[in-house]
Amino acid sequence: MITVTVDGKQVELQPGATLWQAAEAAGVGIPVLCHDPRLRPVGVCRLCLVELADGTLIPSCCTPAANGVSFRTATDRIRDHRRMLLRLLLATHRIPCLAQQSTGSCLLEQLGVEYGLLDGHGRPADPALIELRTLALSEAPVDDSSPAILVDHAACILCDRCIRACDEVQCNDVIGRSGKGFETRIAFDLGAPMGHSSCVTCGECVQVCPTGALVERRMAETVRRDEPLRVVASVCPYCGVGCTTDYIKAGPRIVAVRGRPSPGSDGRLCVKGRYGWDYALHPHRLTTPLIRRPGYYPKGPLTADTRGDTWDGGRRKPGSPVPDYEQALEAFREASWQEALDLIAERLQEIRRRYGTRALAGFGSAKCSNEEAYLFQKLVRAGFGNNNVDHCTRLCHASSVAALLECIGSGAVTNSFRDVDRTDLILVTGSNTVENHPVAATFFKQAVRRGKRLLVVDPRRPRLADYATWYCRIQPGSDVAFYNALMHVLIRDRLYDEEFVRRRVRGFESFWEVVQHYAPQRAAPLCGIPAAQLEEIAHAIGTARAMMVFWGMGISQHTHGTDNARCLIALCLLTGNVGRPGTGLHPLRGQNNVQGASDAGLIPMVYPDYQPVADPEVRSRFEEAWGVSLDPKPGLTVVETMNAALSGEVKGMLMMGENPFLSDPNVNKVRAALAKLEFLAVQDIFLTETAEFADVILPSASFFEKLGTYTNTDRRVQLGRPVLDPPGQARPDWMILSELLERFGIPADYESPEKIFREFADLTRSYRGLNYDVLGLDGKIWPVERPDAPERPILFADRFPTADGKGKLVGCHYAPPAELPDADYPFVLNTGRMLEHWHTGTMTRRSATLATLAPTPYVEINRDDAEALGVAEGDFVRVSSRRGTVVLAVRPTDRVAQGCVFIPFHFREAAANLLTIDELDPYGKIPEYKFCAVRIEPAPRPEG
Amino acid sequence: MATDFEPVLLANVGVPDSQRLEVYRQRGGYRALEKTLREYSPEEVVELVVQSKLRGRGGAGFPCGMKWKFLPKDRTVTYLCVNADESEPGTFNNRILMENDPHQVLEGIAIAAYATRAQTAYIYIRYEYVRAYETLQQAINEAYEAGILGERVLGSDFSLNVYLHRGAGAYICGEETGLIESLEGKRGWPRTKPPYPAVEGVFRKPTVVNNVETLCCVKHIMDRGVDWFLSIGVPADPNNPRDLGSYGPKLYCVSGHVNRPGCYELPLGVPCRELIERYGGGVRGGKRAKAVIPGGLSMGFLKEDELDTPLDFNSLQKVGCLGLGTAAVVVFDEDTSIVELLHRSCRFFAHESCGQCTPCREGTGWMYRILTRILHGEGRIEDLDLLLELADSMGIIPGTTICGLADGAAWPVKTAIRKFRDEFEAFIRSGSRLTAASSGSAAGEAS
């Protein structure tokens, strides 16, 4: 510890602390403009100067405190200096600036008042300031080219916070400075208007801006000066990173979202988290229960897009991002909750009576809370009486989880994503992290800048590849060959961790039996990576002190997805990269609560906490807890359920927040299956494509309107708090489920989500020690068996949760994807997501900012292929597979290899899943979204 | 004093083909390097330079040996950075050395690199110095071919690679950490110190940054000995422990309204008047000098009655100037408008401020705008005090900026207004207005 004297007051500090931190510790505030504790100190505003004993002035934010140093923070000299500085800055400042006008939050103007340069009304009062302002040049107009952010150079004080936030925190490198001296301006790219630059609208710059130079458009345009602001601490509703948020409210309205500092996301957000919340206010929100009118039977799609008569360039409602609402609504009449709920219970029970318990099924959602997921599976298991409950995890990481359970006995991530700070080598494969887990990606990019090596393996070049030490564009679907080759070299050259393998792994010999056939020379033509590079990478992995593996849908969404994941697990087991800091297996979770929904038992084979339904001991425990007898047979998975609906085995379904119409493969088949259901009830926030097939639709409260817990990709359980009131009669899903449970004879008098959480946690080991108080603001990483237990972010330091405590190496042979390109369908189609949108677009396409940023569907096609087809940027093409056809605009790019195309699946008017194949991985039952054969032909621009 | 001084640094200037290695060697070139490599350990060279009391010639006058000694003992990599960005208005001594005697520069670099155990030296040369760049590159090529650079310099165990790097025309890149940033390919922004370059310099490794002339002095110290060096110049005042003395020869650049502008090598401490009269040939047209810049624009102004001040490291502060600077003397005759001159000065610094620190970015800008207003006949007497207040509040001396550019911008303002206040007030009161045409003469030569 060192001792520092601040204004005569002694404080003790850790060595390395700055003078500014010393002052903080002493309770002395030093004004700053350029400094933000989250950013690297640069000391450019010079407002934080302090005076040393010898009279030297020195910036406190970037000066390390020497032991025994003494300084003063507010001498006359310092105050004079600060006055001069503020005078100079205020001389060219727009007074009041947009931040001051709206929320009174301009730090410069606040200091101006404090230092007597501005009067109580914020008007210039200092004679020299008034004089200087007469000399100021005319102000440039506000740059309003971005849909979300206003840029006012006249309010900019060049503190460089935005530059550091953009370059060093988010690592987007968009903002810099142009000009020098007095002519300096912050600049986007090479001085483009913000909205035309490469800015990804993460808003980090706005969050750090101390003045009105970068302001939230909504805030500037809607908040009045005297309006009190309120902050609600919650989390983001979008991806599995689970960023912590502060929702800023003026009256009943949300006016802005800020990243809330926390151990997970560190206060960062992406464009969806910051600007994508306004779907909750969209006029399409369901506000009352709806019952299908008799005239709309037999059931079928209600709108043109859902009918599928627009896919081929036919009629389309101009510019509509979402279903033709009025058209769909006509088919339903308003009903009371009582009537709607009674009808659902009655019809489902009738089907059960007539066709048997297994004729019912339910899809829950990874967008709902843990409490709701728990109640939903309880309703299906205890109420419907079977295990036909699944959710979209089936479509994302089912294969990963299958492989993880098989090889190491647990499907959870072993280390948190921020452990990249402690690793040597980061392997990111099949993950477009920058767009799909943007905030996690910022930590990866930062780690690379700090000297970590990054290996990116992906057939479609992700933006993260720009940061990679090695980028391997493997042939689509050749992952097994690629990783087998690496492991071949690791074993051949004895670079694997022999000690770890001896102590903690079994199956080495039989594993070698497989990978011995994958010498780099042999694997190279299969995966498209030169043998020499395979050798080099294998050696880098073998000699790295620690390696972390992150993967996404590019690994899992294949008919051999489980094999892909087995390879990654084997790679970590072979090299001893599990159970230590900076190591581990991290399948990046897609939905905000896909981890939690799985933990809570929204899986057909397991009860909460992965306890098998087939295990009689487990089952009897749940029978006792729920007071009913339970079906021992594991239920149907998502695609199996749809098949069963088509074949008539499943007749009645309850759908909570899922939209299989757009999210499941082979839409034409899903359409037929949904239409064939005798009874479908949907609880959702919007009338989705799937809901067009419903008999009853229940209006749910959105994420922002309810309390509940969500478990992120790090296994961190966090509280989401209500920010808005539900519209109309909408109710939280947990209330709806409670009502249905009661109607199925299961007592469910939960007065709050907390009570549901208690019941759920008590039935698990991983959540047992958790309650809402323990979660607090930062959340907690499970397993937590006792409330006072320390967090265990790293799992399996000593043993794996398998019978013998060992991990298992499972060798897999390379097998080609299900549908290879041929003369008729010569291109390989890859599908996935884009930064601005979420899954089926239900939410994001109803967010004004996000829909403006990314309004229309497109197909990425290699530049050379585009040239060969004679199509250019913006031209339309018809993309057809053996299952369907879509028409959409072309985006020529180098991101996809020749012979490959990519379509984001968010757009109903060109639904990628009309084309995809519904072939499944035999273990994880996950469809092969990432590979099918398509044909491309130029097409006329669709009308409308 | 200067009468019998035989040039050392400029000894080869004017000799036919002085740039060529062959000629340089015939005239005793690389003798000092050979001797150094043969007879001295690096530590001994450092010690000799410490003893010589050589102070940096780039402007700040920091003791060269002490700078070298700041390098961490346990370092594994050291870089030598040669500051050839000579952009201080009025200064051209490095150019003379590089254009006429490039091997002298390289010999100094090699000795300094040996002393500091640097195996890589970067010469950061001002973009506008096209001839110096070409000459130096030619000399580097010759030196590589002759085994003076590259692996095993002159057969010793010492290896050295020298790279010539051209700047892009920014004054701020003459500041040593701005130079380093620029060399690394970044915007030339001075770094917050500490850490000083000796600890974290180029690529965050220990680095020495020396001026071209300083390194040439090193060569002669090794050639002629410490005692020779100490016998030249102005000894330290024994009663002033902070006076480190002004030893050795110095290149003085004389320009402006003089009859014989040029670069003159003289012992440190030559009085300004003597330099102008005897070497510069006196003020042009038989006029009197009104103001003189003693060491580059950023040092501020001397009045005529201050011209007897010796041009050494210690005396100029006594007459209100910032220091000796680059010893570039610019003379302005009695017809020069000081208002106009200061306007030019302010324009220069406003243009060259990197914009990083608020006081400098805003301060230089506002000083320029205020001067512009004065020049347009719309000034107010209070403007002078505002200018002084601004000038007094910016720079590393008051402690408000990262680097010294703001001091350099402030000193001309402070000295001009304090020493020529009557002229400013008269100008403002008269409501005169200078036209663009008439403002093109005197100050133009200073920028």
Q: Look at B364 and A181 and tell me if their CB atoms are within 8 Å.
A: yes
- Measured between CB atoms, which of B170, B355, B399 is closest to A56? B399
A65 touching chain B per CB within 8 A:
no
Distance CA A555, CA A871 (A): 31
A418 and A526 within one domain:
yes
SS3 at position A389: strand
- Would residue A440 count as lying in a domain? yes
- Measured between CB atoms, which of B350, B382, B389 is closest to A181? B350
Residue A143 phi/psi, 5-degree rounding, is -80, 110
- Would residue A478 count as lying in a domain? yes
A107 touching chain B per CB within 8 A:
no
Nearest CA in chain A to B195: A63
Q: Look at B369 and A135 and tell me if their CB atoms are within 8 Å.
A: yes
Tokens 């396409």, located at residue: A845
Q: Within chain A, what is the greatest distance between any pair of CA atoms?
A: 93
Q: Look at A88 and B389 and tell me if their CB atoms are within 8 Å.
A: no
- B2-228 CATH pick, 3.40.50.410, 3.40.50.2000, 3.40.50.300, 3.40.50.11540: 3.40.50.11540
Q: Look at A46 and B401 and tell me if their CB atoms are within 8 Å.
A: yes
Q: Look at A135 and B373 and tell me if their CB atoms are within 8 Å.
A: yes
CATH of the domain at A476: 3.40.228.10
Q: Look at B400 and A180 and tell me if their CB atoms are within 8 Å.
A: no
- From-to residues of CATH 1.20.1440.230 in chain B: 338-446
Please give the DSSP secondary-structure letter assigned to residue A2: E
- Would residue A795 count as lying in a domain? no
Question: What is the radius of gyration, based on Cα positions, of chain A?
Answer: 29
Asked if A18 and A64 count as a contact pair (C-beta separation under 8 A), the reply is yes
Nearest CA in chain B to A58: B399
A845 and A776 within one domain:
no
- ipTM here: 0.89
Q: Look at A80 and B352 and tell me if their CB atoms are within 8 Å.
A: no
- From-to residues of CATH 3.40.50.11540 in chain B: 2-228
- Measured between CB atoms, which of A49, A62, A158 is closest to B361? A158
Which residues on adjacent β-strands are paired with residue A612? A606
- Measured between CB atoms, which of A43, A45, A132 is closest to B366? A132
Cβ neighbours of B154 (radius 10 Å): 16
Print the domain residue range for A892. 827-939
A235 and A369 within one domain:
no
Q: How many residues does chain B have?
A: 447
Q: At what angle do helices A127-135 and B381-393 cross, to 10 degrees?
A: 100
Asked if B380 and B399 count as a contact pair (C-beta separation under 8 A), the reply is no
A337 and A423 within one domain:
no
Distance CA A459, CA A41 (A): 39
A789 touching chain B per CB within 8 A:
no
Structurally, how many domains does chain A consist of? 5
CATH of the domain at A908: 2.40.40.20
Distance CA A447, CA B78 (A): 27
Burial class (CB in 10 A: 0-12, 13-18, 19+), A788: exposed
A617 and A566 within one domain:
no
Task: Examine the pLDDT at B346 and tell me if it is beyond 50.
Answer: yes
CATH of the domain at A181: 3.30.70.20
Sign of the four-CA dihedral B187, B188, B189, B192: positive
Beta strands A885-893 and A858-862, pairing class:
parallel
Q: Look at A43 and B192 and tell me if their CB atoms are within 8 Å.
A: yes
Nearest CA in chain A to B370: A135
Give the confidence band of B442 by pLDDT, cuts at 50, 70, 90: very low
Task: Examine the pLDDT at B447 and tell me if it is beyond 50.
Answer: no
- B248-333 CATH pick, 2.40.40.20, 3.10.20.600, 3.30.499.10, 3.50.30.60: 3.10.20.600
- Would residue A878 count as lying in a domain? yes
A756 and A659 within one domain:
yes
Q: Give A425 to chain B, closest Cα distance, Å.
A: 23
Sign of the four-CA dihedral B166, B172, B176, B181: negative
Q: Look at A177 and B355 and tell me if their CB atoms are within 8 Å.
A: yes
CATH of the domain at A44: 3.10.20.740
- Kindly report, residue by residue over A600-658, the tens digit of the pLDDT: 999 999 999 999 999 999 999 999 999 999 999 999 999 999 999 999 999 999 999 99
Contacts of B400 in chain A (CB under 8 A): 46, 49, 57, 81, 85
Asked if A367 and A657 count as a contact pair (C-beta separation under 8 A), the reply is yes
Mean pLDDT calculated for residue range B102-106? 98
- Kindly report, residue by residue over A512-557, the tens digit of the pLDDT: 999 999 999 999 999 999 999 999 999 999 999 999 999 999 999 9
Contacts of A85 in chain B (CB under 8 A): 358-359, 362, 400
Q: Look at B358 and A85 and tell me if their CB atoms are within 8 Å.
A: yes
- Would residue A793 count as lying in a domain? no
Distance CA B91, CA B37 (A): 33
The predicted structure's pLDDT at residue B443: 38
C-alpha atoms less than 13 angstroms from C-alpha of A57 in its C-beta half-sphere: 24
Q: Give B190 to chain A, closest Cα distance, Å.
A: 11
CATH class, range B338-446: mainly alpha
Segment holding B353, helix H or strand E: none
Give the confidence band of B296 by pLDDT, cuts at 50, 70, 90: very high
Asked if A390 and A655 count as a contact pair (C-beta separation under 8 A), the reply is no
A410 and A392 within one domain:
no
A256 and A147 within one domain:
yes
Q: Give B361 to chain A, closest Cα distance, Å.
A: 5
The predicted structure's pLDDT at residue A322: 63
Task: Examine the pLDDT at B441 and tell me if it is beyond 50.
Answer: no
**For testing the chain B interface, which of A44, A133, A157 should be mutated: the one with the most B CBs within 10 Å?**
A44
For each successive 10 residues of chain A (944 residues), what is the average pLDDT?
95 94 95 93 93 92 94 95 95 95 94 96 94 82 96 96 96 94 93 96 97 95 89 97 96 94 96 96 95 95 79 49 78 98 98 97 96 98 97 91 94 94 97 97 97 97 97 97 98 97 97 97 97 98 97 95 97 97 95 95 95 96 97 95 96 95 88 96 95 97 98 96 97 98 96 97 96 95 92 93 96 95 97 94 93 94 97 96 94 97 93 92 92 95 71
A334 touching chain B per CB within 8 A:
no
- Would residue A311 count as lying in a domain? no
Closest listed residue to residue A207, CA positions, set A40, A440, A36? A36
Asked if A147 and B382 count as a contact pair (C-beta separation under 8 A), the reply is no
Contacts of A182 in chain B (CB under 8 A): 350, 353, 355, 361-362, 364-365, 368
Q: How many residues does chain A have?
A: 944
Long-range pairs of A84-87 with CB within 8 A, sequence gap ≥ 24: A84/B359, A84/B389, A84/B390, A84/B393, A85/A45, A85/A46, A85/A47, A85/B358, A85/B359, A85/B362, A85/B400, A86/A47, A86/A111, A86/A112, A86/A115, A86/A117, A87/A117, A87/A126, A87/A128, A87/A129, A87/A132
A61 touching chain B per CB within 8 A:
no
Closest listed residue to residue A252, CA positions, set A726, A688, A653, A628? A726
Contacts of A157 in chain B (CB under 8 A): 358
Q: Look at A182 and B365 and tell me if their CB atoms are within 8 Å.
A: yes
Q: Look at A184 and B368 and tell me if their CB atoms are within 8 Å.
A: no
Distance CA A96, CA A87 (A): 15
Q: Give A859 to chain B, closest Cα distance, Å.
A: 38
Q: Look at A158 and B187 and tell me if their CB atoms are within 8 Å.
A: no
Closest listed residue to residue B156, CA positions, set B54, B45, B70? B45
Distance from chain centroid for Cα B88: 7
Q: Look at A88 and B363 and tell me if their CB atoms are within 8 Å.
A: yes
A386 and A449 within one domain:
no
Nearest CA in chain A to B371: A135
C-alpha atoms less than 13 angstroms from C-alpha of B186 in its C-beta half-sphere: 14
Cis amide prior to A783 (ω within 30 degrees): yes
End-to-end CA distance of chain A: 71
Tokens 């060192």, located at residue: A2
Contacts of B386 in chain A (CB under 8 A): 128, 131
Give the confidence band of B444 by pLDDT, cuts at 50, 70, 90: very low
Segment holding B332, helix H or strand E: strand B328-333
A200 and A78 within one domain:
no
The predicted structure's pLDDT at residue B340: 96
- What Å distances lie between residue A822 and A696, A869, A921, A934, B16, CA to CA? 44, 17, 22, 9, 78
Burial class (CB in 10 A: 0-12, 13-18, 19+), A2: middle
- Would residue A787 count as lying in a domain? no
Burial letters B411-435, b for 16+ CB under 10 A, else e: bbbbbbbebbeebbeebbeeeeebe
The predicted structure's pLDDT at residue A317: 52
Q: Look at A84 and B393 and tell me if their CB atoms are within 8 Å.
A: yes
- Would residue A308 count as lying in a domain? no
Cβ neighbours of B240 (radius 10 Å): 10
A564 and A644 within one domain:
no
Give the confidence band of B434 by pLDDT, cuts at 50, 70, 90: low
Asked if A905 and A911 count as a contact pair (C-beta separation under 8 A), the reply is yes
A434 and A372 within one domain:
no
Q: Give B365 to chain A, closest Cα distance, Å.
A: 5
Distance CA A176, CA A430 (A): 32
